[in-house]
Structure 1
Amino acid sequence: MQPENNWTIPNILTVFRILLTPVFVMSFVSSHVHLALLVFTLAGVSDALDGALARVLHQRTRLGAMLDPLADKVLIVTGFLCLGIVGWAPDWLVVLVISRDVIIVGGLGVLHFWGVEVRATIRPSALSKVNTTAQLVFLFLVLTDRAGMLSLPGTQATVMVLVSVLTVVTGVSYVLRGLSLFPTQED
């Protein structure tokens, strides 16, 4: 079997997105909201682009399948944490979003420890992808509002409710799927 080429354009874009996260944080904590918004938008565009390029160029890799959701989690958790610290997002929403991701990643670790092949059995659901998109849209809306570029309070509130519901529903779904994968012992 020939080794997989991991240095594909989509994977490079994904690594780029991961590396943009500290730039976003530094911009945000330095109160350069416009720059933070630009970096966040660039990360969001690279997210859409890497997936599309992987499909079009037939450059899907196992590394990309692992890095892409990791890059999403890093950006989303960091974004919500930043917004929560300065009070731009409700504490309960920040805790909800971050807790869901910590529980999922922790559950995957426990399943792996128990010998369950998690990569082969757990794939992101379509609803989970919608959740990720909604979370990114919420972060974008808050940042554009705080940068004084676009204020859509009704849309922002609607997306916040959507994020809340999707975060709970997809979190419960992953927990139930994970629990069903634990090996059972026969007496």
Structure 2
Amino acid sequence: MHHLPNLLTCLRIVLVLPIVWALLERQFSSASALFAVAGVTDALDGFLARRFNWQSRLGAWLDPLADKLLLVSSFIVLAVIEALPWWLVLLVVIRDLVITLGAALYYWWRQQLRMQPLVLGKLSTLLQVLCGFFSILQAAQLLQLTQWLSALVYLTGAVTLFSGVAYVVLWSQKFIATRADRAG
């Protein structure tokens, strides 16, 4: 049972292509159902890992990868079909690239890396999931959320930006501390 969180994370990765296909085919009801399942697996895998101490190094890498694959691919398609603004997609993609590059550089420098998400990063991911899900519901015309969704888009953008800055500050501090350790 201790592998269940990683299996749920793998399920989220497997769901990425069907979600993208459903969005491109404008099968929004299917896309919203699949996206909801992916969102639930994201919450459930983390809960199970923490609750039952089923955390693993693989899960620490796999979970954020699954999040990035799901959100970036979904956001790109949602922008293509004009359900999300391109500025938000670019912000999410650039933030993720900066965080990934910072982590990779730190690993290259130190040959070790503990993946520890910030609370602001988790909030950013939650808002991105909600933004994606409600954008799909809006596109499906299942709900009329135009003004509410617009506010959510701006809030998601702001939190995404602030979390990106927080990660840059964190990785910069780690890098400076590492250089000081090596110099001293």
TM surpasses 0.5: yes
Give the drift of 1:118: 2.3
**Structure 1 residues not aligned, in runs of 5+:** none
- Sequence identity (%): 36
TM-score when scaled to structure 1? 0.89
Q: Distance in 2 between matches of 1:40 and 1:138?
A: 11
Q: Distance in 1 between matches of 2:183 and 2:117?
A: 31
Q: Which residue of 2 aligns with 1:48?
A: 43
Q: Distance in 2 between matches of 1:61 and 1:44?
A: 20
Q: Which residue of 2 aligns with 1:90?
A: 85
In the alignment, does 2:151 pair up with 1:150?
no
Are the counterparts in 1 of residues 23 and 78 from structure 2 also a CA contact under 8 Å? no
Give the drift of 1:75: 0.8
Are the counterparts in 2 of residues 25 and 78 from structure 1 also a CA contact under 8 Å? yes
Give the drift of 1:76: 0.9
Give the drift of 1:57: 3.0
Structure having the higher helix fraction is: 2
Q: Which residue of 1 aligns with 2:121?
A: 128
Residues paired across the two proteins, number: 180
Q: Which residue of 2 aligns with 1:171?
A: 164
Q: Which residue of 2 aligns with 1:99?
A: 94
**Structure 2 residues not aligned, in runs of 5+:** none
Q: Which residue of 2 aligns with 1:22?
A: 17
RMSD between superposed Cα atoms in Å = 1.8
Q: Distance in 2 between matches of 1:150 and 1:87?
A: 17
Q: Distance in 2 between matches of 1:30 and 1:157?
A: 24
What letter matches 1:145 in structure 2? Answer: Q
Q: Distance in 1 between matches of 2:55 and 2:29?
A: 33
Q: Distance in 2 between matches of 1:35 and 1:101?
A: 27
What letter matches 1:49 in structure 2? Answer: L
Give the drift of 1:11: 1.0
Give the drift of 1:45: 1.0
